[in-house]
Every structure is written in structure tokens, then in C-alpha cells.
Amino acid sequence: MADALHEGDLTRLSPVQSVPVKSLLPADSPRTAGENAEHVQLLAQSAALLPPITVHRASMRVVDGAHRLRAAVERGEEFIQVRFFGGSEHDAFLVAVRENTAHGLPLSMQDRLAAAARILRTHPHWSDRAIAELAGLSPKTMGEIRRSAPDADAQPTARLGRDGKVRPVDSSAGRLLAARLVRELPDASLRDIAKKAGISPGTVRDVRARIGRGEDPVPNSAGRNHAVATSASLAAAAPGSAAPDGSSSLVTVEEPAAPGGSPRRTAALAHQRCVVVGKATRTAARPAASREDAAGLLAALGKDPLLKYAEQGRLMLRLLSAGALPARLWNDLDDAVPDYSVSSVSRLARASAEALTQFADRLELRSDRSEA
């Protein structure tokens, strides 16, 4: 995780200091039932030296060690050994959850579920596995928590994994690209293909296994099979043919109206799909040397150490990787969008395109200035 917790803030606590007990505030604890009186008494009656507690420096609120603090009060001690955490309050809660699941009195299942739900609210961009690992739950349980959240429909479309990499929630496009790379580069490692496709090595392994069994690389993608067949038939019907003005010929196909959609809307979508496929066919027919090879550019940039080993550089490469996908794969994705989500997906796509266009404009302006 690229957040403070993953980067090692847990191990970058301050040296142990002696702090007045009265200067500390009650813990923002993941324990929904509060302190366990019996556990406090066991600690208070023990002759052993209690480990230092963890305190959020900015608020002086206990992060980990509420029972130890209460035991010190029971013993009549005025000072207690403390290690300070300097991160945000949200990250302080992450530390509290992690520490309480790692040692001491175990968190109950209710505590873990409540903690996971809270982390989801403050860190919605984290993957289910990342949150589940921290809270001591299974990824399946975490997935159910996310789906039942009040804002489930507004969850990010990409998530940060345990390895610090951002991946799209829907890996269909990445799987399709990985499938092509597996066929073109049979000797490439899982990790190399994963980097190029923007998915995990485990997903690449699944894609390779599916191809070996003769299955579609995208699970439960009966609809995509129709899209691939439609795209292939259109490309065969107009293999790079062009009108006198150089524009691609328009191919039309008849499609049944989508359930719940008007014939006019379905026809419009079919027309758009045909136009896109025509453009893709025309582009593919151009000599490779006469156009920029986006995949090649991306591969070259991926070898740049200034980008490869910088978090922002890796993020930029992942965002730009969509532009390296072959046009036919984008065409295949058309049918994956339900009619009721067409508007939402379209708006998101245009927002992403606008953001990338502005990014390109700033870079080109910077280039012009450097050449002046």
C-alpha cells in the first residue's frame, strides 16, 4: 500500500519517552465494547514491565495500549512509557487495528467487521484484500462489506493493492491484453506480462491457464464473445477499405433491440460501434512505420529508472497504459457496458480523456518552452 502504513510508519515510531498519564486522551479503539475490565486487572496485578503504548502525537490520543494505560492508572503510576506516531488520525486508526490484531487481547469478529467498514470509508481506494489483511478478515467477507456499503455505487473504479500498485476493479481489458501477450510472447514471465497488462501475476497465470484449456481469458464473458465475433465480421467485411476521401467505409449490421432499450437507442449504439470498428480497421491498415507505436513507447518509458522506481512515475505509466491497448480491444468492450450504464461509462471515459488531454497539453507547452 502506498499509504503511510505500507511505507513503514509503523516501524518509524519515535523513541520511547516517559509521558504523564494525565496528558493522554482515551483511545480511538477498534474495540466496540470498550475496555475489558478483567484484562485490565490482570495487567495491573502483574509484576512484569508493561511494553510502551503508542500515542498519536498531534492529538495525544492513545492509538494502541488502552488496557496498559488503565493498568498504569490502577497501579497509581503517574508516568507511562510512550512511542509517538506522527501520521494522520485516519492512519492512526490503521495502526490501532493492525496492532490489536497482531498482539494482546484479540479483537472480536464484531470489532473486525466494524473496523473494516470504517477503513473502507476513509480508504475506499484500498483493495478488498488490503483491508481484509489489516482487519483480520477474509477478502470474501470484505467484498460483502463493500457491496453492502451505503455508497457502494460510488466506489473507485481502481484500487490500491497490497503491493502498492493501482489496478482497475474490472480487469477485463487487462486480461484481454494479457491474452494477446501470452500468445505473442510465450516465453515471457508472468511478472513481465503482468507489468505490461497492468494486472497481477496471479491474474496472468489464470489467463494463461484459461487459454491452455481453450476458454475465454475473461471469466463469465459470454457477452464479450458476441462482441469479438461482431468485431471480426465487421473487419472481414471491410478489410481496410476506404472511401475516395480516405475515410473508412461504413459497415452496418442488424442487431436486436437491447432488453428495456428503445430500437432507436440500440440502432444508435450499433452505428457507433460500426464507426469505431471501421476506424480501427483503417488505422490497422496503415504501415506501422508511419504511426506512433503506443505499446512500444510505453515499453520504452517503462524502462526509464526515473519513472520505473518513482511512485508517481509508475502511476503515470499505469494511467497511460490504456492508450496502448489495440483499438479492437476497445471495440470488444462496447458490448460489456449494460444499456443502463452507457451514460455513466461515457461520462467517465470523457472525463478521463479530458484529464489526459490537459496533461498532454501541459507537457507539450513545457517542451515548447525548453526548445525556445
For residue 4, is pLDDT > 60?
Answer: no
The average pLDDT across 17-39 equals 87
More confident residue, 74 or 273: 74
User: What's residue 342's pLDDT?
Assistant: 82
- Is the confidence at residue 266, as pLDDT, over 70? no
Could you tell me the pTM of the whole model?
A: 0.46
pLDDT band at 116 (very low <50, low <70, confident <90, very high): very high
Give 337: exposed, middle or buried? Use CB within 10 Å, 0-12, 13-18, 19+. Answer: middle
CA-to-CA distance for 52 and 50, rounded, in angstroms? 7
- Average pLDDT (116-142) is 90
Q: Which of the pair, 233 or 40, is modelled with greater confidence?
A: 40
Q: Which residues make beta-bridge pairs with 126? A: 160
Q: Determine the average pLDDT of the residues in 213-222.
A: 76
Report which of residues 82 and 231 the model is more confident about: 82
User: Taking a C-beta distance cutoff of 8 angstroms, is the pair 81, 49 a contact?
Assistant: no
Q: 332-362: per-residue pLDDT in tens?
A: 777 788 888 888 888 888 888 888 888 887 8
Residue 252 has pLDDT above 60, yes or no: no
Residue 279: pLDDT band (50, 70, 90) is very low
Look-up: residue for cell 480491444?
329
pLDDT at residue 267 above 50? Answer: no
Average pLDDT of span 225-240: 39
The answer on pLDDT for 182 being more than 70 is yes
Q: What is the mean pLDDT of residues 183-199?
A: 87
Confidence class for position 275, pLDDT limits 50, 70, 90: very low
Residue 46 confidence (pLDDT) above 50: yes
Say how many CA atoms lie within 13 Å of 94 toward its Cβ: 27
Flag the least confident range among 127-131, 193-197, 248-252, 260-264: 248-252
Report residue 311's pLDDT band, with 50, 70 and 90 as the boundaries.
Answer: confident
| Local confidence band at 306 (pLDDT 50, 70, 90 cut-offs) | confident
* Predicted local distance difference test score (pLDDT) of residue 291: 36
Q: Taking Cα atoms as reference points, which of 217, 223, 129, 220 lies closest to residue 173?
A: 217
Nearest to 24 by CA among 73, 68, 70, 61: 61
**In terms of pLDDT, which residue wins out, 195 or 250?**
195
Span 323-338, average pLDDT: 74
Backbone φ and ψ for 295, nearest 5 degrees, come out as: -65, -40
Distance CA 106, CA 126 (A): 24
Cell of 315: 502511476
What is the model's pLDDT at position 113? 93
